Amino acid sequence: MIVIANDHAGLELKRELTGLFEELRLPYKNIGTDSPESTDYPRWGYRAAKLVASGECDRGILICGTGVGMSLTANKVKGIRCVVCSDCFTAKLSREHNDANMLALGARVVAPGLAAMIARVWLETPFSGGERHSGRVGMITAVEQGRADF
Ligand code: RB5
């Protein structure tokens, strides 16, 4: 299950991406705003991040104007590795190397077609599971849990 959340700036792109989920037959939960009225992005980013951190959702996509506010918020939640992407290469490597479990997109940065391509690559790319990358992701978790000794 994918969770998708957005603020007012991400409303149009959210509609585009839910169309992609339907095309890919991916079950999703839309918890973002469906109104164009100005709203606070941390509210939406936090709610979505909690769903991923708790395991209720497998991964999540966040959309605001730049992707930055949403990703900063999500990365404060333990267990979240959220990446802001505006290119497909970063999206792919953030899955293969970093096992990113949330993707943040900037609706005012990337055009809808590119955003859909980034989301698709990110959704379809698995974590490599390699020893080197697993070790490094484990180091990120150690920092998060205050037990880093490196
Ligand atoms: C809203 O104007 C904008 O600040 C928000 O969508 C986002 O870009 C924040 O990082």
Give per-residue pLDDT as tens, 124-137.
999 999 999 999 99
**Catalytic positions, please?**
64, 97
Which residue from 53, 136, 70 is spatially nearest to 108, judged by alpha carbons?
70
CA-nearest residue, atom 3 of ligand 1: 65
Angstrom distance (rounded) from CA 109 to CA 13: 11
Which amino acid is it at 141? T
* Residue located nearest, by CA, to atom 5 of ligand 1: 65
- The most distant pair of C-alpha atoms in the chain lies apart, rounded to whole Å, by 46
pTM of the model: 0.97
Q: What is the pLDDT tens value at each position of the chain, 150 positions in all?
A: 999 999 999 999 999 999 999 999 999 999 999 999 999 999 999 999 999 999 999 999 999 999 999 999 999 999 999 999 999 999 999 999 999 999 999 999 999 999 999 999 999 999 999 999 999 999 999 999 999 999
Distance 69 CA to ligand 1 centre (A): 6
Residue ranges per structural domain of the chain: 2-144
Atom from ligand 1 closest to the CA of residue 66: 8
CA–centroid distance, residue 134 to ligand 1 (Å): 32
> Homologous superfamily of 2-144 in CATH?
Sugar-phosphate isomerase, RpiB/LacA/LacB (3.40.1400.10)
Residues flanking ligand 1, CB < 6 Å: 7, 9, 41, 64-66, 68-69
Please report, as a single letter, which amino acid is at residue 67: G
